[in-house]
Structure 1
């Protein structure tokens, strides 16, 4: 059976891996799987999104499922629309932070949560078998077009309130967030300066919001003497923050701050994060009454654990945050509103960030062909004890080993032909030493896996 879905839906280069034919089969499979009801479909701003969307929509309609087309819409808006239109599912046409020549298809359930691997496997089975439901001419699905943008902003304003007004620079990278994020900030009462807000599908910067890609945002915040800079990836399910001094706030630090704020806003509870999150989160949240639970990388795993444990907040150290009081869809736009509320109540981010413990975090990517990943991981598990002396091992997603003041995570990328290494230690020297050994182990495993 073909494997179409990765860690974040289907992704691929347009008209190579991701074709209209494949998109049509996805729509027909989803419609067959659901049997009836309504599906919300939205797209990011990529040049190929309309083409892929129409193929998916055609597939859905052919099975007798109704479709609400919400047009160009960030992922959070799709998740929100599922709820307000009482839909059975949602589809976002997006490749998130990938380059413009890529696109993807991500599917959400009626609760706004990404489809689990089990549901994706079922769709793959239907796509392989090709036994799709075909509605008679008088029962073909109905297509309607609308936008829930105003409803989204109205609902967000009921949950987030500011006493003061702030200068906010919003950099949406010419992605779909440009249609909602600056407008929500304005409605909160802030003065908004927009960067890269032309949704033309060509993107003005690397879409992943990090220190390098947000250098222009950092300069703008400084020059305009703004209170904060907010950035998103292509579909605005992520958020990146530049503080009032024009510095990019590391993901780990921002994850700790927002999780801490959620605990203050909604009360004590369980915080769900992933195996690549560091010890700083635990150390910062413990005094605030937060219990940290780790799961597999990916927003669907975080959402599943939130639902299972009745968690109060879920977040990954990639700027992907889920606020269950709002929705189970990762939402960088609503997150931006919460960041402003946190500033309003507790002061500038540059000051708040000083309270978060700082440990040395390093990340590395080692090239590894996709077909070798399974063998490489098996070799790493087999030989890891020869390279490291450790106290604890976690294998829910890749392999994470821990000492008293350090950890190293090895896992294959779900979106690129690479092995990822993430690690943390209390000192830079210790971190560099660990990375040297970790890279040596992975390179050895990749080399070894080449020969049967």
Structure 2
């Protein structure tokens, strides 16, 4: 029995040929079906050149179990989430490696109502069955494959979040990075314009292309950010929007072409929902918190902290009936989107909020950034992550007025705070720092902490 190294904590990612190929995809499909015992499974795939063949192999495994497959074609991860719930399927699988290098692919799997399947909720069981090829005999009558275009229902649902008659005229630069976002954006643009939205779209790298001629779409890479930034300035646009390969993450630029850290978008989206539904619960992660909590409480909502990671946030949102959950990593989750993450809803909600408040993105976010400055997440490679964490804790614990360990170590002081977390997969520590309206203190404490971590 060979170990399958493509299984992670939340999904499947592997190098093509060695860690993930058609045979392994087939076995994963058989094991997924044996674990879930579904009648119907939705499948979709991103633009990577191997996605169609891996999707077909996975689907064959599901059909050989005896379940039917609905193939929704080229799409984003959120379209599989939407279709699984909307079509009342028993499970779904998106073939994607998101922003991984070109020689990778992977899978994200869900059960009914698009509830996540992660290590603790079945992924380990699926891995063991796939490794042992222990999924029982093939069904006497295999399942069937149906191809369905579910995009109209998806687009209709997205635009239901927006008050279209009250949108102000805007020019939007969009950068799909040659990933899966382009076709979905085209359909969304058509629906918005047909409904009378006064929007102009200027599209960069919109054509899907699995050879990724402009690099793997990952807007967090500093070399990719200037492309969107420059297009915003050249076209005097109101906002820039870019996505990663499977568009489950969305990144924004203001009208001056400045990239906006994901932390401040969480506050914006929290406000967007609380304007519409006062008193709602908002879930947020512990890395950076002050801005989010101030906005949520200031708008009459309830802020609920939760450990980072999509499985934890989705579970917490269901438990609390939270309307929205946001992570500074640019993952945004929505109760009325099956509690799943979407890369299309964030920018739609932001243009809706800007229209309601008759303001610009720069003025809305600029104040938040001044109130709670942060350098963003900084990674440090260390020889011993636990030892480094202890060293930092011992240096600061006496001065701290509060600490929590919901996710790594968070220490809070009168006018600044930090969060330190270990990576799950490498000897790396991730640092986040924020202050109350004091950029100099932010710089000072960040350098102080980095020196201690890296000594």
* Structure 1 residue 71 corresponds to structure 2 residue 73: yes
> Aligned in 2, Cα 1:385/1:245: closer, same or farther, shift over 3 Å?
closer
Change (3 A) 1:13 1:392: farther
Task: Give 1:219-238 correspondences, 5 Å limit.
Answer: 219-238=230-249
Q: State the Cα distance separating 1:67 from its structure 2 match.
A: 1.1
Count residues with an aligned counterpart: 437
Residues of 2 paired with 1:441 and 1:59: CA distance? 51
In the TM superposition, what are the counterparts of 1:286-365 in structure 2 within 5 Å?
286-347=297-358, 348-356=360-368, 357-365=371-379
Whether 1:133 aligns to 2:147 is no
* Range 270-279 or range 70-79, more displaced: 270-279
Rounded to whole Å, the distance in 1 between the matches of 2:344 and 2:259 is 18
Please give the alpha-carbon distance, in whole angstroms, between the structure 2 residues aligned to 1:50 and 1:207: 19
Aligned-partner SS, 1:201 = coil
- Write the distance in 2 (CA, Å) between the matches of 1:217 and 1:114: 32
| Structure 2 match to 1:166 | 170
- What CA deviation, in whole Å up to 9, does each residue of 1:407-445 have, x standing for no partner? 33232334666332222234344334443454455446x
Tell me the equivalent position of 1:55: 57
Instruction: Measure the CA separation in 1 of the matches of 2:259 and 2:185.
Output: 19
Q: TM-score, normalised by structure 2?
A: 0.88
Q: Distance in 2 between the 1:24 and 1:422 partners?
A: 41
- Aligned to 1:335, what secondary structure does the other structure show? helix
Decide whether aligned partners of structure 1 residues 324 and 67 sit closer, same or farther in structure 2, where only a CA change above 3 A counts: same
CA RMSD of aligned residues (A): 2.4
Residue in 2 that maps onto 1:448: none
Contact 1:272 1:311 in 2 (8 A): yes
Residue aligned with 2:336, SS: coil
1:16 is displaced (CA, Å) by: 3.2
How many angstroms does 1:211 deviate by?
Answer: 7.7
Aligned to 2:432: 422
> Does residue 201 of structure 1 match 2:210?
yes
Distance 2:449 2:100 in 1: 26
Q: How far has the Cα of 1:174 moved from its partner? A: 0.9
Find the residue that maps to 1:111 and give its secondary structure: helix
Correspondence list, 1:255-270, <5 A: 255-270=266-281
1:253 aligns with 264
> Per-residue deviation at 1:195?
0.9
Is contact 2:278–2:301 with CA below 8 Å preserved after alignment?
A: no
Deviations 1:182-222 (A, max 9, x none): 43134222222211112112332452324832312122122
Whole-angstrom distance in 2 between the partners of 1:186 and 1:34: 37
Given the alignment, which residue of 164, 167, 184 partners 1:180? Answer: 184
Instruction: Confirm or deny: 8 A CA contact 1:239 1:336 kept in the other structure.
Output: yes
Which consecutive residues of structure 2, in runs of 5 or more, have no partner in the other structure?
Answer: 194-198
8 Å Cα contact 1:3/1:124 also seen in 2:
no
Distance between the aligned counterparts of 2:375 and 2:411, measured in 1?
Answer: 15
- How far apart are the structure 2 equivalents of 1:196 and 1:9? 27
Work out the CA distance in 2 between the residues paired with 1:192 and 1:294.
36
Q: Deviations over 1:37-88 (max 9, x none)?
A: 1111111111221232122112212211211111111011111111221111
Find the counterpart in structure 2 of residue 32 from structure 1.
34
Task: Give unmatched runs, 5+ long, in structure 1.
Answer: 445-452
Q: Report whether the alignment pairs 1:387 with 2:390.
A: no
> What is the deviation of 1:229?
1.6
SS of the equivalent of 1:366 reads strand
How far apart are the structure 1 equivalents of 2:92 and 2:111? 6
2:196 maps to which residue?
none
Q: Check the 8 A contact 2:270/2:295 in 1, yes or no.
A: no
Cα distance 1:222–1:182, how it changes in 2: closer, same or farther (>3 A)?
farther
Q: Cα–Cα, structure 1 residues 209 and 268, in superposed 2: closer, same or farther, change >3 Å?
A: farther
Residue in 1 that maps onto 2:155: 153
Residues 5 and 14 in structure 2, CA contact (< 8 A), matched pair in contact too: no
1:334 shift after superposition: 2.3
- The secondary structure found in structure 1 opposite 2:337 is coil
The DSSP-based 3-state class of the residue aligned with 1:257 is helix
Does the CA contact (< 8 Å) of 1:295 and 1:396 recur in 2? Answer: yes
Which deviates more, 37-46 or 2-11? 2-11
8 Å CA contact 2:389–2:420 kept in 1: the answer is no
CA–CA distance in structure 1, aligned partners of residues 331 and 97 of structure 2: 15
